[in-house]
A and B are shown apart, each in its own frame.
Chain A
């Protein structure tokens, strides 16, 4: 197996162009590539469109912030495609002021749109959102007398994802609920940078236990 470059978070940030579409793993900060996010803030890579389950947690009363919240707080995001912004007061504020465009997508639909992008599908048909505002502007199909919406693939320029363990080839293993969107984002993006807590030699992860196959991963960052 071919070893992938192991780079610093700062080098990872330098691979990301301003204005890119960036998929970011994590669920309210759990399973989020925090070191690469911090490096993006430090390098001030802006005008990003981010695809993420949620915009993580930011509570102005306590100052608590998780996951990708610093990207929002540092005004690096132009558009966010996500299922939930309710736990980040800053996203809501910047949406109201018009600084950030927010496209809200049902969580299961978001997962499938990402999966479709990575797995060569022209879209997916889902009953979720039929008869609601989500249906507006979409093709509706009736299959076995139920209404389904056509939801289109959501590819990205870059995925920054987080794993518990990775080998030098790029095979990844996630921990517990820190898995969430990380495995489906890797196939969906042209450039994939995986932040791993533990980097191990090729051959030490049981092939039966690999969650993300190495071929989806381009660079590794240890953090």
Chain B
């Protein structure tokens, strides 16, 4: 095997292939935002931003910023034709009400029971959960987007999360830079291995229990 070098672009590229035209999608801050760069041209998804819009467009050209139009990270954005704005209660009604098809979030730890920890490291990092707890509890499908390893080299796919949870038993899919996993509730089922890695190498380097899907595929990123 080659030496592991984290590859966030691969993760974004693979997640972008989940969506079909008409899906309402919320992309979290950081790595999940990269997913927007890889959505195929023939697929039209409707991006939701929890600060109060659907139809999120690209960043404005320099000088085209509007102080009244930002995303949930506070950055200047645009809105596409047909998009609309709403207040925070409506925005989270959309989220909790199951009207968001996919939410893509970053990870501190994710475990084989579908638990996600991504908002707090006690004593170290306590920024607040923002909208993450509602997004994970309410969206129809939750995709955890993460490099397979921490900077220390530890696997981010755990048997059991040790950090405070963002939500319990809500994660459906995990996409790392090594592969795509489905959460079964008692293990991670490896559905796709990303070239040049192998299933054996991934299992050996993952703390959690990993089972192989019967229809496991090898994906060769473009």
Contacts and interface: CB of A to CB of B under 8 A. Distances in A.
Interface of A: 27-31, 53-54, 57, 66, 82-87, 92, 95, 102, 104, 106-112, 114-115, 126-134, 164, 174-184, 211
A29 B128 contact: no
B19 interface: no
A31 B67 CA distance: 9
Contacts of A85: 126-128
A55 B74 CA distance: 12
Nearest to B94: A108
Interface of B: 49-53, 66-74, 79, 85-89, 91-92, 95-96, 115, 126-134, 137-138, 164-169
B88 A53 contact: yes
Given A83-B129, A85-B127, A30 B88 contact: no
B87 A184 contact: yes
B138 A164 contact: no
A128 B137 CA distance: 6
20 contacts: A27-B70, A28-B74, A30-B68, A85-B127, A87-B74, A87-B127, A92-B126, A107-B133, A108-B92, A108-B133, A112-B89, A128-B96, A164-B68, A174-B85, A175-B68, A177-B51, A180-B87, A182-B87, A184-B87, A184-B89
A159 to B, nearest CB: 14
Contacts of A102: 128
